[in-house]
Amino acid sequence: MRLKSTVVRQLLPLAPAGVVFLGLFVAPLAYFLVISFWSVRARIMRPDFTIANYVESWSRYGDVLLRTLLAATAIGLVTTLLAFGLAYAIRFKAGRLGPALLFVTLITLFGGYLVKIYAWKSILGRDGIINMALVGMGILDEPSPAFIYSTAGVVVTLTYFLLPFAVLPIYGALRSIDDATLEAARDLGARPFAVLRDIVVPQCLGGITAAFTMAFLISAGDYVTPRFVGGGAALMGNFIETQFSLGFNWPMGSAMSFTVLAASLLVVLAFRSLLRASFRP
């Protein structure tokens, strides 16, 4: 009885957070999971139990789902690689400038999401800095539309937006590495690449996985950036948003959302397994 009361007292401070979590995350998720098996007739949701929405999600939007996963994977890999390089430089190479570089990296989080999208839309556009520079150097005869309204533009924009978020977990993992371990490895004749591969990376696998997961999931579900920067390169998020807004087909939109969620979970688990198999401590 005393043990039970002790456990209750320990869990009681978590009750407010638990209520918020259940009310704002679990309950809506459960609701959309239930209605994903419903049907729509005459633009009205009808309680039902059918997998037709999931079948249509794979058959009708399978190519879009694949394009979305490939784009999100590319964004996740590029963002994680850049974030690791930046976090490594801040932790081991910058010295006293490390905190300043970290501050500069994090201060970009205060910029608005739409502001960043419009900034990159201006940079990548026909009259943007990149086209003007290439034309000025004589590389292009006239501005090229290839930089904007493409999947590449979406990758560049989302990579820039997600980079600060990916730096944080990796830098936190690198902070936990003891410098004495690295010095010992160098004293024993380990080359810099061997130290990085065999000591540094295995000890921050959790941070790398968290960075990739965050970048991948946000990219897989985003629909604002593809709309403004991707043009015709619509991803799954754009079609899901259409089902909930213009289509008035919430069951179909929910089924598409859970399809993306399931596929994204498989990609994240595959990345985690591959990373652990490649860099075992």
Within 10 angstroms of residue 234's Cβ, the number of other Cβ atoms is: 19
Closest CA to 216 of 40, 76, 105, 119: 76
Which DSSP letter does residue 125 get?
S
Sign of CA dihedral 213, 215, 247, 28: positive
CA distances from 261 to 56, 168, 217, 227, 253 (A): 16, 24, 8, 21, 12
239 CB-contact burial (10 Å; exposed 0-12 / middle 13-18 / buried 19+): buried
Distance between CA atoms of 206 and 271, rounded to whole angstroms? Answer: 12
Distance between CA atoms of 73 and 19, rounded to whole angstroms? Answer: 34
Tens of pLDDT along the chain (281 residues)?
565 677 777 778 888 888 999 999 999 999 999 999 999 887 888 888 899 999 999 999 999 999 999 999 999 999 999 999 999 999 998 888 988 999 998 888 887 888 888 888 888 888 888 888 888 888 888 888 777 888 888 999 999 999 999 999 999 999 998 888 888 888 888 898 888 888 899 999 999 999 999 999 999 999 999 988 887 667 899 999 999 988 889 999 999 999 999 999 999 999 999 999 988 76
CATH of 56-278 among 1.10.150.20, 3.30.70.980, 1.10.3720.10, 3.60.15.30: 1.10.3720.10
Backbone angles phi, psi at 279, to 5 degrees: -130, 75
The token pair at 243 is: 């089902």
Domain ranges of the chain: 56-278
